Structure 1
Amino acid sequence: MADVFRGLNLLETLKESMERNKLADVKDAMEDLLISRINLAVAGDRGAEKSTFMNSLRGLGPEDDGAAPSASPAASEEVAAYPDPKHPDFRVWDLPPVPAACPFEPEGYVDKVRFLRYNAVFMTFTRVPHPNGVEVFQEARSLQLHAVYFILFALADDTEKSLEAKRKSVLDALTSQGVAQPKVYVVTPSTLEKFDFPRLLEDLGKDLPEIRAHSLLLALPALTSTLVSQKKEAFKALIWAAATLSGGVSAIPVPFVASVVDCSVAVRILTKARLSLCLDNESVERLARLRGVGPAGLAGLRVCPLSVEVTKAEVKRRLAAAEKELAAVSSKWVEMAMPRHARSASRSFTAMLQALNGAIEEMAADTERIVAVALGEEKRC
């Protein structure tokens, strides 16, 4: 995803809303991040590579519930939707192949598949794309949809040398058809951490509105240790929003309201984090199956209790512990983080921030260990 420090822009927006006493705006931002509303569309010939890619975007194997089948059940001109089982508002859309007919009107295809409703569109192929597909790309760009990308699928018998030759052929073809400074991302459908997919995520993060870039980051499976670190950073904005709400509620003179809200919001965030970091049992088992490692070994790498299960009891315990440790937190740091008029609520703000940030650090560390073992980057003890 984009530079993790882009999150500071969102934090500054949240702080400005708090300064203006617009708690509703902060709450809306938090809900957007928790729900992960994002729509990705994949265009190109329907087949094993395309379905595998759509499944990998959601962390699924071909036999998992909700997986896109190799032989698409959709008619050749229909659009098919595949929601993420863990993040229902994250959808991958299977667009029909661009017709090879001549003459061809790209406006008709763009209108028919409703291009503009998607946050990003991937134009996929295994060789030089058909000219009609390039026309669709150009039409989308003319409509100010910038998050459209050419993806060259790496096949099983491809070598680095053959892929570079294919990439050059594709770039030459795109240039000859008038695409200015074309980019082509080489992607292995079943193992997205290879080749250019990380670079594609970086560009996606730059091209998408920030709230959508964060939503996509939180919805994607934990593919690499770098992505895990970026997810952890993205949660900081979400945690800050929650802590801000906590501080606002704490200023309300109603007994027990703050503690109830804190616990409820914290449970939602940490539940989201557990799913986003792929620490739930299904994700761990699925990763083990896809990578050919023992599921029990991966599951045993979860050290943090919240990685195994997010319970109210554990969340309350951590919030209470953070309250007790407030004396060790610099009051100057709190004053810098909180607007002047809200410093009376800084105690609740700081406790929430400290408890959730600590929990996310522990959970992310568990995921980093799991990913390292699953990808063969280190051996289990």
Structure 2
Amino acid sequence: MADVIKSLNLLETLKESIENNKLSDVKDAVEDLLISRINLAVVGDRGDEKATFINCLLGLGPGDDGSAPSPSPAAPEEVACYLNPKHPDFRLWDLPPVPSTSPFQPEGYMEKVKFPRYNAVFVTFTQTPHPHSVEVFLEARSLQQQTVYFILFTSAKDTEKNLEEKRKASLVALTSHGVSLPKVYLVRPSTLEKLDFPGLLEEMARDLPEIRAHALLLALPTLTPTLITQKKESFKALVWAAASLSGGVSAIPVPFVASMVDSSVGVRILTKAQSSLCLDNESVERLARQRGADPARLKELRTCVLSVEVTKGEVKKRLAAAEKEIATVSSKLVEMAMPRHARSVSRSFAAMLQALNGAIDEMAADAEKIMAAALGKGK
């Protein structure tokens, strides 16, 4: 997400579906966001850099369960898949390097690795992109698959001058092979918050279908403070959709709506928020290992009880408290948020909105404190 506008755009889309009485569309959007269904592929030589990159995208360290090993056990032409342990429908596919032998047909390689099934593809290299990789990129563009990106892996030894020289050489190579307005992103696999990776995420947010961009955002680890803010805004759009369904804004029966009336949906959303914001014990301990921080100290920074554990009892308590306080909620705010024909059910809507949004604000604040402490220790 480039900014909060992305979340507001999703919110407007959801509101339009409610206005048009398409609750099934809203239900599908809620489920999609809760599942975080997205497929990313990484093309390139199978070495330490590629394995580290994949693991950082998954929020894993070397040796963690489910992490990509180096050297890769996959056969040279085999496609390997790695699942995010917290978001199993976020899948990272390790694609074999594009063959350097000639003659080469990009269509054959793309068919073999099932190129169209990936929502985005990273073409990685350490010096300059191979001409055959450029052919794959151009073929993907000709098929209207726009979400293919060139990534130049860097190391801590690279100087600023050296990095710019590498970028310039790569851009020249891409231009010479027919890529107009080429872009190359400098990425340090072990520290994705540095260099160009945050900018690449912004580019992907513009290129991906909006629901996929949100799914990616929620599944990524908390790499930067900006990502935490963007996750918070995305969860608030999700809360709005869930609260709308909970309010019973349509007479049309939708099976999913029945479960929205109780606290179970609140537990699902806040459990997703806890894992997305990397607040659970396992995620905090993993972050501490990666940054050389004290895990006990990081855990102490969680002041919201839901950051530590999401329970139905706590969610029910917050919903009940919101019901009691609902008289203090601005009626104007409710009128602005709810579709015109649904204002009679604004009490249920406002209670869930107030309870869950308040919880998400508290959890995001905890995530910001933990990230600041971990990054400070890493520095």
TM-score bracket for this pair, using the shorter chain length? over 0.9
Residue aligning to 1:288: 288
Preserved contact between residue 81 and residue 91 of structure 1 (Cα < 8 Å): yes
Tell me the SS of whatever aligns to 2:174.
Answer: helix
Preserved contact between residue 250 and residue 258 of structure 1 (Cα < 8 Å): no
Q: Against the structure 1 CA distance between its residues 286 and 95, is the aligned structure 2 distance closer, same or farther, given a 3 Å change threshold?
A: same
Residue aligning to 2:52: 52
What's the CA shift string for 1:171-219, capped at 9, x where partnerless?
1111111100000000010110000000000000000000000000000
Residue aligning to 1:180: 180
Residue aligning to 2:78: 78
Q: Against the structure 1 CA distance between its residues 333 and 260, is the aligned structure 2 distance closer, same or farther, given a 3 Å change threshold?
A: closer
Preserved contact between residue 19 and residue 339 of structure 2 (Cα < 8 Å): yes
Preserved contact between residue 262 and residue 352 of structure 1 (Cα < 8 Å): no
Alpha-carbon separation, structure 1, partners of 2:225 and 2:340: 38
Preserved contact between residue 245 and residue 260 of structure 2 (Cα < 8 Å): no
Preserved contact between residue 46 and residue 72 of structure 2 (Cα < 8 Å): yes
- Superposition deviation, residue 336 in structure 1: 1.7
Alpha-carbon separation, structure 2, partners of 1:8 and 1:212: 15
Residue aligning to 2:322: 322
Alpha-carbon separation, structure 2, partners of 1:348 and 1:38: 32
What's the CA shift string for 1:255-303, capped at 9, x where partnerless?
xx97973301000000000000000101000000000010000011000
Question: 1:96-107 alignment to 2 at 5 Å?
Answer: 96-107=96-107
Alpha-carbon separation, structure 2, partners of 1:283 and 1:40: 21
Tell me the SS of whatever aligns to 2:93.
Answer: strand
Alpha-carbon separation, structure 1, partners of 2:120 and 2:67: 20
- Superposition deviation, residue 251 in structure 1: 7.7
Does 15-24 or 259-268 show the bigger shift?
259-268
Preserved contact between residue 152 and residue 186 of structure 1 (Cα < 8 Å): yes
Question: 1:13-52 alignment to 2 at 5 Å?
Answer: 13-52=13-52
Residue aligning to 2:337: 337
Residue aligning to 2:273: 273
Question: 1:92-171 alignment to 2 at 5 Å?
Answer: 92-171=92-171
Does 20-29 or 231-240 show the bigger shift?
20-29
What's the CA shift string for 1:14-38, capped at 9, x where partnerless?
1122112222211111000000000
Does 156-165 or 133-142 show the bigger shift?
156-165
Preserved contact between residue 243 and residue 348 of structure 1 (Cα < 8 Å): yes
What's the CA shift string for 1:125-152, capped at 9, x where partnerless?
1001111111111111111110100000
Tell me the SS of whatever aligns to 1:57.
Answer: helix
Alpha-carbon separation, structure 2, partners of 1:18 and 1:292: 47
Question: Aligned AA for 2:180?
Answer: A
Q: Against the structure 1 CA distance between its residues 209 and 250, is the aligned structure 2 distance closer, same or farther, given a 3 Å change threshold?
A: closer
Residue aligning to 1:192: 192
Preserved contact between residue 61 and residue 286 of structure 1 (Cα < 8 Å): yes
Preserved contact between residue 23 and residue 250 of structure 2 (Cα < 8 Å): no
Residue aligning to 2:362: 362
Preserved contact between residue 126 and residue 153 of structure 1 (Cα < 8 Å): yes
Preserved contact between residue 250 and residue 348 of structure 1 (Cα < 8 Å): no
Question: Aligned AA for 1:39?
Answer: N
Q: Against the structure 1 CA distance between its residues 86 and 230, is the aligned structure 2 distance closer, same or farther, given a 3 Å change threshold?
A: same
Alpha-carbon separation, structure 2, partners of 1:107 and 1:53: 26
Question: 1:203-218 alignment to 2 at 5 Å?
Answer: 203-218=203-218
Preserved contact between residue 222 and residue 228 of structure 1 (Cα < 8 Å): yes
Alpha-carbon separation, structure 1, partners of 2:161 and 2:270: 44
Alpha-carbon separation, structure 1, partners of 2:168 and 2:302: 44
- Superposition deviation, residue 157 in structure 1: 2.1
Tell me the SS of whatever aligns to 2:58.
Answer: coil
After the TM superposition, which parts of structure 1 deviate over 6 Å for at least 4 consecutive aligned residues? 249-253, 257-260
What's the CA shift string for 1:106-163, capped at 9, x where partnerless?
1111111111100000000100111111111111111111010000001232111111
- Superposition deviation, residue 249 in structure 1: 7.1
Alpha-carbon separation, structure 2, partners of 1:259 and 1:275: 22
Tell me the SS of whatever aligns to 1:320.
Answer: helix
Preserved contact between residue 126 and residue 155 of structure 1 (Cα < 8 Å): no
Tell me the SS of whatever aligns to 2:376.
Answer: coil
Preserved contact between residue 62 and residue 69 of structure 1 (Cα < 8 Å): yes
Preserved contact between residue 122 and residue 151 of structure 1 (Cα < 8 Å): yes
Alpha-carbon separation, structure 1, partners of 2:206 and 2:27: 24
Preserved contact between residue 2 and residue 204 of structure 1 (Cα < 8 Å): no
Residue aligning to 2:346: 346
Alpha-carbon separation, structure 2, partners of 1:100 and 1:308: 50
Residue aligning to 1:229: 229
Preserved contact between residue 292 and residue 378 of structure 2 (Cα < 8 Å): no
Q: Percent identity?
A: 76
Alpha-carbon separation, structure 2, partners of 1:296 and 1:224: 21
Alpha-carbon separation, structure 2, partners of 1:169 and 1:366: 43
Tell me the SS of whatever aligns to 1:326.
Answer: helix
Residue aligning to 2:220: 220
Tell me the SS of whatever aligns to 1:61.
Answer: coil
- Superposition deviation, residue 8 in structure 1: 1.7
Preserved contact between residue 291 and residue 375 of structure 1 (Cα < 8 Å): yes
Question: Aligned AA for 1:32?
Answer: D
- Superposition deviation, residue 377 in structure 1: 7.7
Question: Aligned AA for 2:185?
Answer: Y
What's the CA shift string for 1:326-380, capped at 9, x where partnerless?
111111221121112211110000000011110000000000000001011899x
Q: Against the structure 1 CA distance between its residues 133 and 250, is the aligned structure 2 distance closer, same or farther, given a 3 Å change threshold?
A: closer
Structure 2 runs not aligned, ≥5 long: none
RMSD: 1.8
